[in-house]
Structures are given as C-alpha cells and as structure tokens.
Amino acid sequence: MTPGTFALLSLAGGAGAALRYAVDALVRARTTSPFPWPTTLINLPGCLVLGFITGLVAGRFAGTELSLVLGTGFLGGYTTFSTASYETVDLVRRGHDRTALLYGVGVLVGGVALAAAGYLGGMRV
C-alpha cells in the first residue's frame, strides 16, 4: 500500500464514521422506540453498498485500490456491527427479548442478503 492510498483510506474511514454519527443523531432525534433504528438504517444499506462495490470491482476494476478506499475505508467507518451486537445484548438486558432476537437475526440475515444482492448488482454493471 502506498502512503497516498493509506492517507485516502484514513480520510475515507474518518468520513464514514462522521456520517454514521450524523445519521445516528438524526434518527435518534426522531424516534423513541426501543428498537435500534439508527444502527439498522446504517448497517443494512451499508451492506448493500459494500456488496455493490465489491461486485463492481470484481467485475470491472480488479486490481485497483478503489474497493480498499471505499469499502474498507468509508464503509468500514460508516457501518458498525459491533454496535449492533452491543444493542442486541442491551435489548435483552432491558427485557426486550423478542425485539433482541428479531433485531439480532434480522440485521445478520438482512445484511448478508443485501450484500449478496449488491454484489450481484455490481457484477452486472
């Protein structure tokens, strides 16, 4: 990895994290539900976009560092499955067992399905 790529990767990661914070704050200000909507609305579209970028790079731009900067950098900073895991445990701790189960399974299965759909879409471009 060149120093320039490392710098772009770092900037993209910071931009993704900043956007995640902004989306999280915006969604939290508009809901009082115990369901973790902010993380859901961040992670699921993030999986779709990462799948699309991966499919696009595999199909047309193999060997470029585009996927590294956009996927690992920006989307790595934007998405947050560690927060989703914590929120699942927190839902159980607060007595929302059914919501925790639906959220934990839904985010995992939905994330994989959306990543696959994005990948297939990216391969077709």
104 assigned ligand-binding residue: no
pLDDT at 66: 80
Q: How many domains does the chain have?
A: 1
pLDDT at 63: 64
Which parts of the chain sit beneath pLDDT 70? 61-63
Residue 102 in tokens: 């639906």
Range of the domain at 34: 3-123
Q: Amino acid identity of 66?
A: L
User: How far from chain centre, in Å, is Cα 86?
Assistant: 15
Residue 87 in tokens: 């929120």
Alpha-carbon distance of 117 to 57, in angstroms, equals 15
76 assigned ligand-binding residue: yes
